[in-house]
Amino acid sequence: MNEIVLGEETDSDGDVGYCSHFELYLSAMKEVGASTRRVDALTAAIRDGQTVDEALAASGAPAHVVRFVKFTNEIASSSPVCDVASVFCFGREDVIPEMFQRLLESFEDSGMQIPRLSYYIRRHIELDGDQHGPLTRQMVKTVCQTEQEVESAIRSARMALEMRIQLWDGVVYALSDR
């Protein structure tokens, strides 16, 4: 787990320094001209002591984002460790490399010049595919010892995947509505 946290919080920034993947993501958003207003409002509200639910409401985030973040926060803050590990593994680290590979290919096919975002995506394909995915799968095997824990972890992983699908469906809908 420490290796994963280290990779997420102090990774190469693609230039000559280091930053968290969150900081890299915000930098990539700015590069492509996307507003960080809602993300900035969310993080400022949390820093000011608001709950995640309060901060989400104050940020004006779209409903599909609110549902995804609330689900993630609920799992992380109040679920058994086997469910947390399963959601982290199968809802994030295991699915992201293939998802991001397709996204990267679509950017490249369209000739988009987005070096920060491309680096962010490539870095996740590399880390999650080669290191974090296998580490989280091992973590799930380690913490899910009973049949009941395995069944609960499977239910949670399915829900995480469903929530991710709903998130991306919401993104597609929002983009097609423009």
60-105 per-position pLDDT tens digit? 999 999 999 999 999 999 999 999 999 999 999 889 899 899 999 9
Q: Which residues pair with 18 in a beta bridge?
A: 12
Per-residue pLDDT for 178 more than 70? Answer: no
pTM for the predicted model, two decimal places: 0.86
Helix ranges (DSSP H) in 79-146: 81-88, 96-109, 115-127, 133-143
Separation in Å, CA 87 to CA 26, 118, 150: 24, 25, 12
Closest CA to 36 of 26, 44, 28: 26
Rounded to the nearest integer, the mean pLDDT of the chain is: 91
Over the stretch 24-48, which tens digit does the pLDDT of each residue have?
A: 899 999 999 999 999 999 999 999 9
pLDDT digits (tens, 9 = 90+) for 101-152: 999 999 899 998 898 899 888 988 888 788 888 899 999 999 999 999 999 9
Task: Give the integer Cα–Cα distance in Å for 19 and 13.
Answer: 6
